[in-house]
Amino acid sequence: MSVQPSSLAAISCTIFEDLLRDYTHELTQKIHRMSKLALQKCERCNTYCRQHCTKPGFDIYANNVQTPSSIPYYQCLSCRREIAASRYAAHMEKCKGRSLSSATSYASLLEGDSANDDE
């Protein structure tokens, strides 16, 4: 239990101490909140998404950096063949019958274009 200060100096010290403590509290509360939220599991994606992975060779979600062997395939909108992403643009140029003109709406363009989904 603290003793009641009697001198003016002692009272000033107590007031100052309280003020300082209060400001420090406000400051650390911000960091406390950020850190605590980072340590809690996200309700939506069930991972610790407020934490970033900072290991070299990985991105923030701890995914491996894409290598030639892990390149995805996308379906060509004209010939419906599965093409590796890095060669997609080159293929599109050579693929005859870039038949976008025959599509009647954006929705029909997406029919059979399931490779475009990312889940």
Partner 1 sequence: MVNDVETCPHVKLQSSFLESYHKICAQIYARNNLRRCCRVCRKSNKRTLHCLECEFTGCLWDEHFEQHVKESNHLFGADLKNSHLYCYSCKDYVYHPRLEMLRIKVQNIRNWQNKHKRLPDRYEQTISLNPYEKYPSICSTAGLRGIQNLGATCFMSVILQSTLHNPLLRNLFLSGFHTSENCKRSSCMTCAIDNMFASIYASKEKTSFYGPTVILNLMWKLSKSLSGYSQQDGHEFLVYLLDQMHSESGGDNSFPCNCPIHKIFSGSMKNVITCCECKTKKVATDPLMEVSLDLHESSIQGCLERYISPEQIQYTCSNCNAKVATKQLFFDKLPPTLCLQLKRFEQNSFAMSTKVDKLITYPMLLKMQYNFNQDSVDYQLYAIVCHKGTLDTGHYIAYTLFQDHWYLLDDTTITVVPESEVMKTQAYLLFYHEKNLVYDDEHVERK
Q: Please list, in sequence order, all residues whose beta carbon lies within 8 angstroms of the beta carbon of residue 41, skipping any fewer than 6 positions away.
A: 47, 48
Measuring CA to CA, which residue among 79, 85, 75, 83 is closest to residue 110? 75
**Interactions with partner 1, residue window 40-59 (CB under 8 A):** 40-45, 47-52, 54, 59
By CB under 8 A, is residue 16 in contact with partner 1?
Answer: no
Cβ partners under 8 Å of residue 37, min gap 6? 50
Binding site for partner 1 (CB under 8 A): 18-19, 21-22, 25-26, 29, 32-33, 36-37, 39-45, 47-52, 54, 59-63, 65-66, 72, 74-75, 77, 85-90, 92-93, 98, 100-101, 103-107, 109-110, 113, 115-119
